[in-house]
Structure 1
Amino acid sequence: MLAERAHRTPPLPLIFSVTLIAIMGNSLIAPVVPDLLRDLEVGDGGAGFVIAAVALPGVIVAPLIGLMADRLGRRAVLVPCLVIFGAAGVAVAAAPTFEILLAGRFLQGIGAAGLINLAVVIIGDHWEGERRTQLIGRNAAMLTVGLASFPLLSGVIAELTSWRLALLPQAFGLVVAVWAWRILDPVRPQSAGTIRQQLNGLGTVMKRPSIIAVLISGLVVFLLIFGVFLATLPLHLEREFGIGAGGRGVILSIPAVTASLVAFNLGRISSAIGRRTVLVTATVIFVVSFSLMGAAPVIGLVAIACALYGLGDGALIPILQDTAVTEAPPEHRGAVVAMWVGAARLGQTLGPLLAAALFTATSTSTTLFAGAAVAGVLLVLVLIGPLGRRADSAPAQQHA
């Protein structure tokens, strides 16, 4: 239990800024990868290393950062993460060689590993009930907006100037670090005990069926997002419909609109129909949308399927985050949410590999149907498992 609630409720723009910085690592660099590879005289094979260098540290570092946040307090961990990310971002923008760029990207991955989960944890520390669900949903909506707008921003800057200047917005992490240090109260756990006691307590919490279910669900959802939607659908659009890069970009951006609408209003939706109903409905939408993508004979139906998919995406991710926050005791909240992020990153890593193996051996349509089948398994887990049961029966509260 925290010794005391923070004296000041942190401003939402600060929390949302932390979330937006967390996704700058890949969303800003994606459009300029060909430019930086050409400038640093590296072949196309280097693109995978550029992306993986940020993603890889999170699988291991995120749970450790969660443990530290529970032991030392949120501010003491968040601020160094922001400083590392911002400073490494400047180093990446100025990197004279590809090796230095990769080293900077790896450091960015260490800093970024704690940002999204700590933003969610801070929301969980200061709000409860419907208001917490609402804010986690709006935080997810901000993330979706950032994912849609940052590539456009960096692409325009790179066209007008250079890829190095396009990456400089990452330095904003240093500004937010100062802001967080001045605004967040240095609240520390009342008694974290020894490291052994902390780990033993966390081990007990991690054995809860609800925690196990939310971790498995997070892994599966991100496996589907990165393996089926992001890795398989673009190839499906090219192979089956002959759509070029511009058209694929438009179709792949459709879910950002519907996902933002749902995530922004998630608190209201969850209050009206219940968390469990939201989980079931969103999972059913995944089954239907992936099936429609695989079966659609015309591109218009694929676009409709993408819009449906966004509805499920906009509900599933924040509601799972909210469930992880709700089910975790305050003294282990940072570690539990970080473990959820670690599971999500594992799904993010495995999804494209499994999908690529399947559509190489069969077809993109088969892979999309396989995604629907996996979503169906997740639906069974949600229907028979513990997710959302206790949260729906708990009274909604909010801290002043």
Structure 2
Amino acid sequence: MQPTMQPDLTTTKNPLRDRNLYIIIGVTLISIMGAPTIAPILPDLAKVFDVSLNEIQLVMTVFFLPMSIATPILGVLADRVGIRKVLVPSLLLFAIAGGCISFAQDFQTLLGWRFLQGLGVTSLNVIALTMISMMYRGKALTTAMSVNVSIVGISTAIYPLIGGALAGFSWRYPFLLAVIAFPLVMLVLMVLKLPTKTSISQPSNLKNYLGNTWRSVNNTSVLGLLLAIGSIFAIQSGAFMTYVPILAGVKFGTSGLLNGLILTTMSISLAIVASQLGRLARRTSEINLIKIAFIIVAVAVLITPAINNAWLLIVPSALFGAAQGLVMPSSQALLAELAAENARAGFMAVNATVQSIGQALGPLIAGISFGLWGMEGVFWVTAAISLATLTLLNFLLTPRRNKGWSNENYR
């Protein structure tokens, strides 16, 4: 049974009083579950399946790979056939594949189901961001985006702890967490209310739809924001989610639980900084905050290989989390303002595709760096990526190049 569709739920009121936002946050929580719950147990999985540290990063890579391929397609489908018709099957596939991974008997089977789980999660982040951008405007939009990112930070602080703790009983249990998506399916079907599209906002045909999406994306400011998003996700999935736990396990002999605690500091820092974004944005622009973030990232990764105590890995993790807290809500809110009204899911699909490409490339780039220059090389190359991104942002995100924002965005 589907709820009656409201003709217009777009609002500037406080989103914290809207139960729809909490269902959307539930979708976001499922969309990020697959990485932080598994990252702390990568060293354990390498031992269980008797594979090298270079091979074990495939557990992350194959999960992110379908996102970079299928996200644009699913974004178009969400705009054309409806969000709910894409969201529900995606949640079901994620839950089923996650459950099946826990019964895998060999590494190849695990990777196969992990790929399907990644396919299931592909549309979730796109749809969550699209629903927020559909429902809210003005300060309510920024508030909703900040709340969404803050919850991401809190949950990714908890997920590594849960994954590491469950792995103490069996490596299979962290994968079983995916079945939490089943109750969310019922909420999406029975409680979630979405605004209907007016006849004006309905894309008349695929050619016009793709044209509107392309016109939204073909903007130097959009390209700059997408670069920032892709870079921060590549650094997260490569240096921090994959190689910080490996560094801790190999160099200091840490457990999955301690690895989870280290990653947790990153998420707590993200949540704290994201929750204060409104105050920070009143002091300087979102553009400047994004640029400052990449300086923080470079510092964080440069100090990581010099650390000689496992507990001190908390410091670079917290610094990187702070940088994420600046980049993610700022860039997502600015992108939402630039999206074409009748192609929001397609536009956000481009955003999510860039995230997914970054997440897929991150472990690969880090793995290549590890093979060429060892563990220190992973973090040196990551620092170079951060500084290169900062340099490009100085050219792409400037007032004279941007036609979509007011001068407030450049204070």
Report the TM-score, using the length of structure 1 for normalisation: 0.82
The answer to whether the 8 Å contact 1:7/1:185 transfers is no
1:19 to 1:97, Cα distance in 2 relative to 1, 3 A: same
Aligned-residue sequence identity (percent) comes to: 26
Aligned to 2:291: 280
The CA deviation at 1:262 is 0.6
The answer to whether the 8 Å contact 1:222/1:348 transfers is yes
Aligned to 1:398: none
1:53 to 1:34, Cα distance in 2 relative to 1, 3 A: same
Aligned to 1:56: 65
Aligned to 1:258: 269
Give the one of 193, 212, 220 matched to 2:223. Answer: 212
Moved more, 90-99 or 222-231: 90-99
String of CA shifts for 1:256-283, please: whole Å, max 9, x gaps. 2211101122233224432122212222
1:368 to 1:15, Cα distance in 2 relative to 1, 3 A: same
Count of matched residue pairs: 389
The CA deviation at 1:168 is 3.5
The answer to whether the 8 Å contact 1:54/1:106 transfers is yes
The answer to whether the 8 Å contact 2:248/2:259 transfers is yes
**Whole-angstrom CA distance in 1 between matches of 2:252 and 2:104:** 36
2:128 is equivalent to residue 124 of structure 1: no
Moved more, 5-14 or 298-307: 298-307
AA aligned opposite 1:62: T
Aligned to 2:8: 5
String of CA shifts for 1:238-295, please: whole Å, max 9, x gaps. 78xx433246654444322211101122233224432122212222222333344466
Report the TM-score, using the length of structure 2 for normalisation: 0.80
The answer to whether the 8 Å contact 2:63/2:115 transfers is yes
String of CA shifts for 1:299-341, please: whole Å, max 9, x gaps. 8876544432221122112222222222111222211222122
Give the one of 240, 247, 251 matched to 1:229. Answer: 240
AA aligned opposite 2:142: T
Give the one of 183, 188, 198 matched to 1:180. Answer: 188
2:75 is equivalent to residue 72 of structure 1: no
Where do 5+ consecutive residues of structure 1 fail to align? 396-400
The answer to whether the 8 Å contact 1:135/1:267 transfers is no
AA aligned opposite 1:73: G
- Structural mapping, 1:1-400, within 5 Å: 4-6=7-9, 10-30=19-39, 42-44=49-51, 47-93=56-102, 102-157=111-166, 159=168, 163-164=171-172, 166-185=174-193, 187-189=195-197, 190=199, 191-233=202-244, 242-246=251-255, 250-293=261-304, 303-386=314-397, 390-391=404-405, 393=407
**Whole-angstrom CA distance in 2 between matches of 1:143 and 1:75:** 22
1:128 to 1:365, Cα distance in 2 relative to 1, 3 A: same
**Whole-angstrom CA distance in 2 between matches of 1:251 and 1:97:** 29
The CA deviation at 1:54 is 2.5
SS of 2:203's equivalent in the other structure is coil
**Whole-angstrom CA distance in 1 between matches of 2:45 and 2:371:** 29
The answer to whether the 8 Å contact 1:123/1:136 transfers is yes
**Whole-angstrom CA distance in 2 between matches of 1:172 and 1:187:** 26
The CA deviation at 1:187 is 4.1
The answer to whether the 8 Å contact 2:28/2:124 transfers is yes
**Whole-angstrom CA distance in 1 between matches of 2:100 and 2:374:** 42
AA aligned opposite 1:174: F
Aligned to 2:15: none
**Whole-angstrom CA distance in 2 between matches of 1:196 and 1:300:** 54
The CA deviation at 1:164 is 4.8
The answer to whether the 8 Å contact 2:24/2:128 transfers is yes
**Whole-angstrom CA distance in 2 between matches of 1:318 and 1:13:** 17
1:53 to 1:301, Cα distance in 2 relative to 1, 3 A: closer
AA aligned opposite 2:187: W
String of CA shifts for 1:196-217, please: whole Å, max 9, x gaps. 2222222222212222222222
1:156 to 1:365, Cα distance in 2 relative to 1, 3 A: closer
String of CA shifts for 1:118-166, please: whole Å, max 9, x gaps. 1122111112233322322221222233223224324444545x55555
**Whole-angstrom CA distance in 1 between matches of 2:239 and 2:46:** 27
The CA deviation at 1:25 is 2.6
**Whole-angstrom CA distance in 1 between matches of 2:272 and 2:51:** 37
The CA deviation at 1:367 is 4.5
1:270 to 1:303, Cα distance in 2 relative to 1, 3 A: same
SS of 1:6's equivalent in the other structure is coil
**Whole-angstrom CA distance in 2 between matches of 1:313 and 1:82:** 26
